[in-house]
Amino acid sequence: MRWAELGTGRTADVTAGISSHSSETVWTGLSLNEVHGTRIGELPEGYFLQHAVVLSTSARPATERRLASSRWEMVDPSPMVLEFLPAGIPFALRWRQPSAAITLEIAPSFVATVLGAERLDESRLHSWSGTDDVLLTQTVLALAQDVRAGFPGGPLYGECLGAALIAQLARKAPGAPQRSVRSKGLAPRTLRTILDDIDANLDGVLSVQRLAGLADMSVDGFIRVFKQSTGVPPHRYVLRKRVERAQALLGNPSLTLADVALRAGFADQSHFSRMFHRLTGVAPRQYRHALR
């Protein structure tokens, strides 16, 4: 996580060397790391260059934080505490025992892309922590699980989760505007353009940001009206279409299961088999045998 020290302007990656799983460059505007602290230390007063969501996955005894030059306060030692630190908000941190956490960096530009016309007044953002937001906690855990699994669905699943997380963060901000609700889905011509694009790129990399751009909408708004039009969010629609393509390909006996997986857009045969079984109730090999 990129951090800048007040006064000196020195920047550093405060998770360098203590991270395990990382999203690297798969997602656009989001970066997730699983951090395992291995040393006692102190972070002098500075600020994150991007918005930061931190989920403590272990207890954090003897950890203190000072926000915006205020007095030092003990951090809640309980596991599964979720914290939000907006970009540019000064803080200092010191700790005396190692701990583990999931850290998520969110680029302000991605927030703007997700919210669009409902763009958040970032001057209203403030730091908070707690254990009562189950939806945000589960979203962070789902993002981490996608990283551990190697992004089997490509960037689409993670970006959809990230958009949902940003929408929830925006609703928690003081004075946040009420988001507009459209009673209808996408216009028929626009929907056809989106669905044709998905069909044409099923075996490649699909991004929710690019699909939203085709509809000339914010990511959050696009996900909502896409679900109104199809009954499912974009990542689930894509998964369903990939399974349908795999069903057709399984009728070709010259293709191996690995070939079918790749041509249908799955990351590997293992992910293909799990998703195929989840949606159809049978394994790909059993489905092929039934066709014969």
Nearest-10 Cα torsion for 129, 130, 136, 138: 130
CATH number at residue 270: 1.10.10.60
Handedness of CA 24, 25, 26, 28 (dihedral sign): positive
Residues 194-222 pLDDT 10s: 999 999 999 988 999 999 999 999 999 99
Lowest-confidence segment of 78-82, 222-226, 227-231 by average pLDDT: 78-82
Same domain flag for 139 and 278: no
pLDDT category at 17 given cuts 50, 70, 90 is low
Last residue of a domain, one of 141, 172, 203: 172
Q: How far apart are CA 55 and CA 74, in angstroms?
A: 16
Asked if residue 276 has pLDDT above 80, the reply is yes
Give the pLDDT of residue 273.
95
Q: Which residues contact 190 (CB under 8 A, 6 or more apart)?
A: 214, 215
Most confident of the ranges 3-17, 59-73, 194-208: 194-208
Domain check: are 248 and 221 in the same one? no
Residue 200's SS3 state is helix
Residue 166's CB is within 10 A of a number of other CB atoms, namely 25
* Domain total of the chain: 3
* Residue that terminates a domain, selected from 172, 206, 222: 172
φ, ψ at 82 (rounded to 5°): -100, 130
- Are both 222 and 154 inside the same structural domain? no
Angle at 86 between CA 6 and CA 20, to 5 degrees: 90
CATH of the domain at 96: 2.60.120.10
Q: Give tens-digit pLDDT for 18-37.
A: 666 667 678 888 999 888 76
Question: Does residue 183 lie within any of the structural domains?
Answer: no
Q: What is the pLDDT of residues 159-192, one digit of tens each?
A: 999 999 999 888 887 665 555 555 578 999 999 9
Output the pTM of the full model: 0.83
Same domain membership, residue 206 and residue 138: no
Do residues 135 and 277 both lie within one domain?
Answer: no
pLDDT (tens digit per residue) in 127-166: 888 888 999 999 999 999 999 888 888 889 999 999 999 9
Range of the domain at 228: 188-236
Please tell me whether residues 157 and 14 are part of one structural domain: yes
Give the pLDDT confidence of 77-132 residue by residue, as tens digits: 888 999 999 998 898 888 887 788 899 999 998 998 898 866 666 666 788 888 88
Instruction: Return d(Cα 241, Cα 198) in angstroms, integer.
Output: 9
Instruction: Specify the pLDDT at position 176.
Output: 56
Residues 73 and 157 in one domain: yes
Spatial separation of the C-alpha atoms in residues 265 and 284, rounded to whole Å: 15
Handedness of CA 275, 279, 281, 283 (dihedral sign): negative
Say yes or no: 73 and 168 in one domain. Answer: yes
- Amino acid, single-letter form, for residue 269: Q
Residues 19 and 124 in one domain: yes
Closest CA to 61 of 34, 92, 97, 103: 97
Contacts of 185 (CB under 8 A, 6+ apart): 191, 225, 226, 228, 229, 230
Q: Per the structure block, which two tokens stand in for 113?
A: 């892309």
> Does position 61 have pLDDT exceeding 80, yes or no?
no
Whether 143 is covered by a domain: the verdict is yes
- One-letter identity of residue 115: L
